[in-house]
A and B are shown apart, each in its own frame.
Chain A
Amino acid sequence: MTRSQAAAATVDPPPADAGPQPERAPDRDRRARNRLHRVEHRWALLFIAPPVIGFLLFTLYPIGFAVYTSLTSWNGLGPMRFVGLDNYVALVQDEYFRKSLWNTFFYMIGIPIGLVLSLLLAIALNRRIPGRTAFRTIYYVPVISSLAAIAIVWQFAYNGDFGLINQVLGWFGINGPDWLQNTATVKPAIILMAIWKGLGYSMLLYLAAIQSVPASLYEAASLDGANAYQKFRSITLPMVRPVTFFLVVTNIIAGAQIFTEINIMTPTGGPEFSSASVVWYIVRKAFKYQQMGYATAMAIVLGILVLVITLIQFRLNRRNSFSIE
């Protein structure tokens, strides 16, 4: 159907002004082409208008608005009172902000652990192991599962009395703590869940990277008498470096914005604010205490942090691609 319609479009006679005609004078020729280009420009502009408008309306304007709001004292409804950098000064002195920032960084301990585990998994699954497709699927299911539902299950699993974790520990005679109610265990508990959730994703990217390594490299290394560890050290690891880098940076960017797990598993920010993240604190300040100016100042600080990380990624990625080519 579509093909015959496309064919019909092809048979249509070309419009009189389409394409340069050899017998025309050169300037008439150019004018015709200019007109055609103008038509093309207009259509192209129309086609890219939606994302451009969306960008202006829902990204650029909000940023300007955020920068201004962060310099005011505002409850979101009444008048905005300009206070200059007061919010930022208050931020530096805010013990809770410092704590939430510290917690947010602390959660990132999970990133290297997750990467090492997923690389090992990927290497294992790159071999001809029976049922490896099934394994890949199983490891990937947590990735696609909704974080809200997952957080609920894990919250229950961490319950001190009848949660899954302590039940399993009980088989070995270990009396586990009430994980999420304990300042010492709440962050590790959330990290463990995050590793579990993200493992499949990094495993998949590593697997793709490993499979794109030319087999000849390994063969050459074998001929030279390299053992498995040497091959891993000098072939696999360098070849997957771009993926490692990509994962480190995207994980840091995502980690800086951690919210859902915190809000569902520890709705009050954990014992003594020990699990509260920056975004969790922003949401609380903005929508519970209506301190829009102050919350926006925090959001701007967060935005700058993420921006810096992203710029580093672009910088180093450029160097990466140079070294490959």
Chain B
Amino acid sequence: MTTIPVLRRGGTPAGATARQQPANRGVRNESRVTNTVLFIVLALFAVVMLAPLVWMFTTAIKTKTEVFALPPVLWPEVPQWDTFVRMWSEAPILSGFKNSFIVATTVTVVGSLTSAIAAFALAKMRLPGKNVIFLALLSGLMIPYPTIMIPQFVMFSRLHWVDTLLPLIVPLLFGNIIMIFFIRQYLESVPDSLIEAAKIDGASYLTIFFRMIMPMIRPAIAAQFILWFMTIWNDYLAPILYLNSPEKQTLQVVIANLNVEFATQRDYPLIMAASFVALLPIVIVFLIFQRQIIESVALTGTKG
């Protein structure tokens, strides 16, 4: 094939690559058409994906009559922004936020630390039978929460912890086995000699962990921390079992109860506004830490 000069752009070296270019060009043209078609399909699909969320938002700023209007109102004539104001006073949303925040922060901060220390010991320290212990812990993952929720509930009700945040916090402070597993894997790549050297230099195990290991595993901890935080923030089953008084409920329970309470009065704007606000913190966290979250999700899945 003769080389066509026009194709040699963008500093492509002549010769072997240039000779392939006519063929490449065909592929590229073809894929441009496919890509355009795909783009349209993906965009339509994206609209479908976002529609419920957008509709949630527009419903929140509609008037009550607009919610039920036929034909449907897509965008309210006068957006009722005050729904986002009045929901704070008409429903215990603020205390829901506070409670969710207390639970999720305490659990993830303390739990990540205990998980990381345990993972360090399991990966890098000498202890007879540590692999057996690790396997036993892993086996706990096979037990679904609904199976043990009734005994746990009985335990905590005997401690008079029902209708407090403690049953949601305390069990999780002892660490998260998935996180332990993840960090233990991560630590496999750290050479033992590094730790041996620190030991010979007289560093205590706490020093080794906090000065050496913690900085190394920071990315792994960060990724797992965010995922765990999201899980706790969005949890519904355990909170609904334990929390009765409105001012003690976490955000998910608050909005679920709003749905029951206000649906009969048809105050859908209020319910939608509260639901929308409940999504926001996590969506914002996701948008900020998107890279780390996506990477660690992808990693967990492919390694699984």
- Measured CB to CB, the residues of A under 8 A from B are 2, 5-6, 9-10, 12-15, 18-19, 37, 40-41, 43-45, 47-48, 50-55, 57-63, 65-66, 69, 76, 121, 124-125, 127-131, 135-142, 144-157, 161-162, 164, 167, 170, 196, 199-201, 204-205, 207-209, 212, 242-243, 246-247, 250, 253, 256-257, 259-260, 263-264, 267, 278-279, 282-283, 286-287, 292, 295-296, 299-300, 302-303, 306-307, 310-311
Q: Which residues of chain A are within 8 angstroms of B275 by Cβ–Cβ distance?
A: 148-149, 152-153
Q: Which residues of chain A are within 8 angstroms of B126 by Cβ–Cβ distance?
A: 37, 40-41, 44
Please determine whether B142 and A307 come into contact, CB atoms closer than 8 angstroms.
yes
B238-250 interface code vs A (CB 8 A; 1 in, 0 out)? 0011000000000
For the complex, give the distance between the alpha carbons of A12 and B133 in Å: 34
Given A51-B174, A247-B301, A307-B143, output 6 extra A-B contacts at Cβ < 8 Å.
A50-B117, A127-B31, A153-B52, A256-B144, A302-B146, A302-B147
For the complex, give the distance between the alpha carbons of A53 and B172 in Å: 11
B33-69 interface code vs A (CB 8 A; 1 in, 0 out)? 0110011011101100111110110010000000111
State whether the Cβ of B115 lies closer than 8 Å to any Cβ in chain A.
Answer: yes
Please determine whether A299 and B279 come into contact, CB atoms closer than 8 angstroms.
no
Tell me which of B121, B150, B155 contacts A295 (CB under 8 A). Answer: B150
CB distance from A221 to the nearest CB of B (A): 14
Please list 27 pairs of residues, one from A and one from B, whose beta carbons are closer than 8 Å in the complex, sorted by A's number. Answer: A9-B207, A10-B201, A12-B202, A15-B202, A47-B205, A55-B136, A55-B174, A58-B171, A59-B140, A63-B143, A63-B147, A127-B34, A135-B43, A137-B290, A141-B49, A144-B283, A146-B252, A151-B256, A155-B259, A156-B59, A162-B69, A162-B70, A162-B72, A199-B49, A200-B49, A205-B297, A292-B150
Please determine whether A208 and B49 come into contact, CB atoms closer than 8 angstroms.
no
Please determine whether A6 and B211 come into contact, CB atoms closer than 8 angstroms.
yes
* Chain B interface residue number, banded: 35 or more
For the complex, give the distance between the alpha carbons of A302 and B203 in Å: 48
Please determine whether A48 and B146 come into contact, CB atoms closer than 8 angstroms.
no
Q: Looking across the interface, which residue of chain A has its beta carbon closest to that of B298?
A: A208
Known contacts A137-B290, A250-B304: does B175 contact A54 (CB below 8 Å)? yes
Q: Which residues of chain B are within 8 angstroms of A127 by Cβ–Cβ distance?
A: 31, 34-35, 38
If over half of B's interface residues share one DSSP class (helix, strand or loop), that class is named, otherwise mixed; here it is helix
Please determine whether B121 and A135 come into contact, CB atoms closer than 8 angstroms.
no
Please determine whether B298 and A59 come into contact, CB atoms closer than 8 angstroms.
no
CB distance from B190 to the nearest CB of A (A): 15
Q: Which residues of chain B are within 8 angstroms of A43 by Cβ–Cβ distance?
A: 121, 125, 205
Tell me which of A37, A145, A156, A306 contacts B144 (CB under 8 A). Answer: A306
Please determine whether B49 and A138 come into contact, CB atoms closer than 8 angstroms.
yes
For the complex, give the distance between the alpha carbons of A45 and B121 in Å: 8
Q: Which residues of chain A are within 8 angstroms of B59 by Cβ–Cβ distance?
A: 156
CB distance from A171 to the nearest CB of B (A): 9
What 7 pairs across the A-B complex have the smallest Cβ distances?
A54-B174, A208-B298, A303-B147, A47-B121, A205-B301, A62-B151, A149-B275
Please determine whether A125 and B125 come into contact, CB atoms closer than 8 angstroms.
no
Q: Which residues of chain A are within 8 angstroms of B233 by Cβ–Cβ distance?
A: 146
Known contacts A2-B211, A62-B148: does B52 contact A157 (CB below 8 Å)? yes
Please determine whether B122 and A48 come into contact, CB atoms closer than 8 angstroms.
yes
Tell me which of A9, A48, A250 contacts B201 (CB under 8 A). Answer: A9
Q: Which residues of chain A are within 8 angstroms of B150 by Cβ–Cβ distance?
A: 66, 69, 282, 286, 292, 295-296, 299
Q: Looking across the interface, which residue of chain A has its beta carbon closest to that of B301?
A: A205
State whether the Cβ of B137 lies closer than 8 Å to any Cβ in chain A.
Answer: yes
Tell me which of B52, B148, B152, B236 contacts A148 (CB under 8 A). Answer: B236
Q: Which residues of chain B are within 8 angstroms of A207 by Cβ–Cβ distance?
A: 298
Please determine whether A131 and B202 come into contact, CB atoms closer than 8 angstroms.
no
For the complex, give the distance between the alpha carbons of A10 and B144 in Å: 46
Known contacts A6-B212, A59-B143, A148-B234: does B118 contact A51 (CB below 8 Å)? yes
Q: Looking across the interface, which residue of chain B has its beta carbon closest to that of A36?
A: B199
Q: Looking across the interface, which residue of chain B has its beta carbon closest to that of A264?
A: B256
Q: Looking across the interface, which residue of chain B has its beta carbon closest to that of A277?
A: B146
Please determine whether A260 and B237 come into contact, CB atoms closer than 8 angstroms.
yes
Q: Give residues of chain B (283-298) contacting chain A, Cβ–Cβ below 8 Å.
A: 283, 286-287, 290, 293-294, 297-298
